[in-house]
Structure 1
């Protein structure tokens, strides 16, 4: 967790005391990276988290205000937070889009968001014995498509944990050196993705198809495959 704290502080080194921070999923461990905040961060734990199923075990945290909420309806007004962290939050791609849109709704226009999830390439297998091993993993193409659907865009991305966690040394300095070496020599093979995201105010809106085009596509969908190959 010390490596993750170091990484999110690299993304947000200027987090001031008056800014409001929200965590979604189960982000309380990550929110402790900024102990000097004037207002304690707020964490919305989703119902699929194991601690909720066990009756709230492990959800109490003196540094974070914790509540249980749904992915599609966050109980906050629009543009309420300066920063949002999503960790242990994604179950399916459809749920991820709905959650990203809801998180963008409560994020201010100049705010920033961090997404933390396992990488699609052997990410979960190298994160055994952690909650990430049971989560949905995304490739670079998939996460870009999900961000486009939520009218968001990635500003920068880093990957972490280039070795299986069972090989990691308990010395924090050695772990930091091995992480830097992985970013230098094999930057695409990290197990955990950390992406900083902002609102895409120039995102195109999806317009409805004209009536004639909808009818034409419906007609072609019942034709042989060689005819459908001509339609884009």
Structure 2
């Protein structure tokens, strides 16, 4: 069961949500700028973040059916729609970038979601995932959408990406200040964020990763004249394996 769209929308209309959005947008802008010339889709609840990528050729906000959707952008032709978790109405290899915020933590099958990302990205496409960090306060204080679903550690997120033939290229963190509303906290959040990034970089409220589509990867071993050699081939997602009981509880 996903968090209701109205709860997420109301969070981003609050002072705390606005500050959180600004810190995360700064990290996204460092990687993608304003999205100049790019075709970008966001999955989860990405409306406030897509706003900053205003030089993109095209922007789409894809909302999972269990969450709900809000018309976006305001005052322009609607570019937001409900989609099935793993069946997006987007052609193969047609997007330059995919942004995921509030989309991974509550996904019933994260690997299937990542394979859908792989499918829609161009050969040189990239994805940025913003996920709640298991060691951060934002995943344990139940006052924001970042406390919903399954938080992630870097190693687990990296494994998920590699299993989906996506290669991590850059890591970052954000939201080092506690998720507590209040005028004073919001005013000092910038100072707190700067100090947290320097003093305890592993304790951010969200972990962020940029990954690229991996088109060439070893997919098997060939034996010839008694010699084992890796035979590279164009990558394609492999059939899902049943998770072990241990995996289901990590």
| TM-score calculated relative to the size of structure 1 | 0.76
Match of 1:142 among 139, 150, 156: 156
Does 2:39 match 1:28? no
Once the two structures are TM-superposed, the CA of residue 62 in structure 1 deviates from its matched residue by 2.1
What is aligned with 1:78? Answer: 92
Once the two structures are TM-superposed, the CA of residue 126 in structure 1 deviates from its matched residue by 5.1
* 1:14/1:28 CA distance change after superposition, 3 Å: closer
Asked if structure 1 preserves the Cα contact closer than 8 Å seen for 2:44 and 2:100, the reply is: yes
Matches within 5 A, 1:131-210: 131-166=145-180, 169-171=185-187, 174-205=188-219
Between the aligned partners of 2:105 and 2:29, the Cα distance in structure 1 is 26
What is aligned with 1:44? Answer: 62
Once the two structures are TM-superposed, the CA of residue 89 in structure 1 deviates from its matched residue by 1.1
Asked if structure 2 preserves the Cα contact closer than 8 Å seen for 1:74 and 1:103, the reply is: no
Q: Deviations over 1:37-83 (max 9, x none)?
A: 343x101100221xx2xxx5xx1122561011112111111111111
Q: Deviations over 1:71-101 (max 9, x none)?
A: 2111111111111001111256761110111
Between the aligned partners of 2:72 and 2:198, the Cα distance in structure 1 is 36
CA RMSD of aligned residues (A): 2.2
Once the two structures are TM-superposed, the CA of residue 163 in structure 1 deviates from its matched residue by 2.4
Once the two structures are TM-superposed, the CA of residue 105 in structure 1 deviates from its matched residue by 0.9
Between the aligned partners of 2:62 and 2:117, the Cα distance in structure 1 is 11
Q: Deviations over 1:138-194 (max 9, x none)?
A: 1122111111110011111111111211167323xx433322221111111111111
* 1:112/1:148 CA distance change after superposition, 3 Å: same
* 1:37/1:122 CA distance change after superposition, 3 Å: closer
SS at match of 2:56: coil
Question: Which is strand-richer, 1 or 2?
Answer: 2
Does 2:109 match 1:95? yes
Gaps in structure 2 of 5+ consecutive residues: 1-20, 222-250
* 1:8/1:152 CA distance change after superposition, 3 Å: same
Once the two structures are TM-superposed, the CA of residue 133 in structure 1 deviates from its matched residue by 0.8
Asked if structure 2 preserves the Cα contact closer than 8 Å seen for 1:78 and 1:106, the reply is: yes
Larger Rg, first or second structure (1 or 2): 1
Runs of 4+ in 1 over 3 A off after TM superposition: 36-39, 91-94, 122-128
Gaps in structure 1 of 5+ consecutive residues: 208-232
Between the aligned partners of 2:140 and 2:108, the Cα distance in structure 1 is 25
Asked if structure 1 preserves the Cα contact closer than 8 Å seen for 2:34 and 2:55, the reply is: no
Asked if structure 2 preserves the Cα contact closer than 8 Å seen for 1:123 and 1:192, the reply is: no
Between the aligned partners of 1:44 and 1:86, the Cα distance in structure 2 is 10
Asked if structure 1 preserves the Cα contact closer than 8 Å seen for 2:86 and 2:116, the reply is: yes
* 1:15/1:187 CA distance change after superposition, 3 Å: same
